[in-house]
Amino acid sequence: MVTMGRLLRVAMRHAAVECALTWLVLCPTPARSSDAALKLEMALHLEGESVEAGTPIRLRIAYSNSGKNPLFVRRRTDIGKGEIEITAAGDACSAAVPTRHVDYVEGTDRFFYVPLWPGRALEESVFLNDPDAADFLELPLIRPGRYSLRVRYAPDSPLEVGVFWPVWSGEAQSNAASLEISPARPAAIARWRARLRACLGERCEPGFAAGRYFRLVRDNEAADILLRLLDRYPGDYSLVEALSAQGRPQDARMIRQLERRPEYGALMHSRLDELARRLEQPGGCW
């Protein structure tokens, strides 16, 4: 499966070649122009209008130069404030893909600038909620239903000097794309439950696929297995997240016990308290 990071790396290689071939067009001696002359529009497309809970959601995001001047777009693989923010809203529930920040080697930022001529677009694919993905991005929607997805792009301050000029900055918002999340099929739950149960015999690495699946799908038998796994491996926070996603109030007691363990620092104690409270006082969205 092609990840967003791989697609971006290919785009950046093409960008470097295009910039080298068109040095006089897009890489002039810096002479500042009005930011108002640089226009960027976003479009969000979903691959399918319905997905089963626990299966991948594919987003195609396009950044189009809708102005009359060439520009550069900086696209790193970060998610969250300063890059792209992916949100979903339903009748009573909303969610966002958690922040993901990559520590880049100093001096490599230049590889993330992509030239866009007027009328041209940069497209990237983002896969969400794929338990088997090496690069797991979660849109934490535990309840089936219809949701409206949007992407917001608001990059932090770009480079002010160098050959990458002019660089677009500001805020762009995509259209809303509707997605129906249907309940997981019993046969699929049974297969993933068997993978989860196998971890009782041989320990699975933190963040294993079956644990991810049950952060997106609820199943009482799986919750019991997660409770047994967490009793064996109390320091595995990925198990805590999966257990809390099952939404059973009685499991708050286990999470409260973990707050006293030394491997969880002050910051994690706050997070554990939040998860326990969510189970003790469940809301309509949870």
The CA-to-CA distance between both ends of the chain, in Å, stands at: 31
Which of 130, 154, 182 is the last residue in one of the domains? Answer: 182
Residue 79 lies in a domain: yes
Per-residue pLDDT tens, the chain, 286 aa: give them: 444 444 444 344 444 434 433 433 444 433 344 556 799 999 999 998 999 999 999 999 999 999 999 999 988 888 988 899 999 999 878 999 998 887 777 777 778 889 999 999 999 999 999 999 988 999 999 899 999 999 999 988 655 445 678 889 899 999 999 999 999 999 999 999 999 999 999 989 888 999 999 999 999 999 999 999 999 999 999 999 999 999 999 999 999 999 888 888 777 888 999 999 999 987 766 6
Cα–Cα distance, 72 to 54 (Å, whole number): 36
Amino acid at 52: E
- Per the structure, the complete domain to which residue 214 belongs is given by 186-280
Residue 285 lies in a domain: no
List 123's β-bridge partners, or say none: 62
Same domain, 15 and 88: yes
Same domain, 144 and 41: yes
Contacts of 68 (CB under 8 A, 6+ apart): 37, 118
pTM greater than the 0.75 cutoff: yes
Residue 286 lies in a domain: no
Residue 96 lies in a domain: yes
Residue 92 lies in a domain: yes
Is 84 in contact with 158 (CB distance < 8 Å)? Answer: no
Give backbone dihedrals phi and psi of 88, rounded to 5 degrees, phi first.
Answer: -140, 140
Q: What is the pLDDT of residue 265?
A: 78
Cα–Cα distance, 1 to 172 (Å, whole number): 28
Q: What is the pLDDT of residue 162?
A: 59
Give how many domains the chain has, as a whole number: 2
Kindly report whether the peptide bond that precedes residue 56 is cis, defined as omega within 30 degrees of 0: no
